[in-house]
Amino acid sequence: MTSPLSSHRQVRRVPTQTFWVKIFHWINIISLILMITSGLQIYNANPVLGGREGWQFPDLFLLGGWLAGGRHWHFAAMWLYSLNLLGYGLYVFATRRWQRRFASSADLQALQKSPNLKRKNLAWHRLVYTAIIPILLLAILSGLAMFKPAQLHWLAALFGNWQTLRTIHFLSVPLVLLFTVAHSLLALKVGSIRLIQSMFL
C-alpha cells in the first residue's frame, strides 16, 4: 500500500510559463536564425575575416542570395530581435521576473559554499543568463554602428576603426550561440526537459 507521503513525493510540479514568455522565446529563436544566416551571407559576399578567397560558409546556411539581399534580411531581423528584447526587458521589469532570473550575491555564495549540486546549477544558470546582457548590447550597438555609420558616427568611433567594429560584431555571434547552448544545458540540469518544453509548448 502506498503511503500518502510517498505518493506526494512522486508528484513533481510541471513548470509553466506565461504566454508572453513563450512568445518572446519563439521570436528570439526565429530572429536569431534569420540574423545568423543572413549575416553569414554578408560574410561570404564581403567577408570580415579572410577575404572572398578564403573559407566560405555553405549555401545551406545562407539567407539572402547575395550581399544586398543578405543585408536586407539582416537589418530587418535586427529590428525584430531588438524590439523583442526591449519588450522582454520591459516585461521582466514590470513582472519583477528579474528577481528570479538574474544572478545575485546569494548565487555567488552558493557556488563557493553550497554542497547542493542543484543549487549550484541554478546559480550557474543565473550567472550565464546575466552575462549575456552585455554581449547582446555589444552585438546590437556594433550592428547599429554598422547600419548607420554616418548618423551614429560617435557610436562607431567607440570601436576604434571600421575593421575592428566589423570583427567585434562578427565575433558576437559565436558568443550568443555559446550562451544558447549553455543556457539550454543548465536549464536541463535545473528543471529537466520539462523546463525546456514549458518555454515552447
Q: Where are the domains of the chain?
A: 20-84, 102-201
The reported pLDDT for the residue numbered 67 is 85
Give burial (CB, 10 Å; 0-12/13-18/19+) of 39: buried
Q: Strand, helix or coil at 180?
A: helix
> E strand or H helix at 32, and its extent?
helix 19-45
Residuewise pLDDT in 10s, the chain (201 residues): 455 544 444 445 556 777 888 888 889 889 989 999 998 888 888 765 555 566 788 888 899 888 889 989 998 998 998 899 889 888 888 888 777 778 888 888 888 888 888 888 888 888 888 888 888 888 889 988 988 888 999 999 999 888 888 888 888 888 888 888 887 787 777 777 776 667 766
User: Which amino acid, residue 73?
Assistant: W
Give the angle subtended at the CA of 78 by the CAs of 46 and 150, to the nearest 5°: 65
> What is the secondary structure of 113-175 as a DSSP string?
H---HHHHHHHHHHHHHHHHHHHHHHHHHHHHHHHSTTTTHHHHHTTSSHHHHHHHHHHHHHH
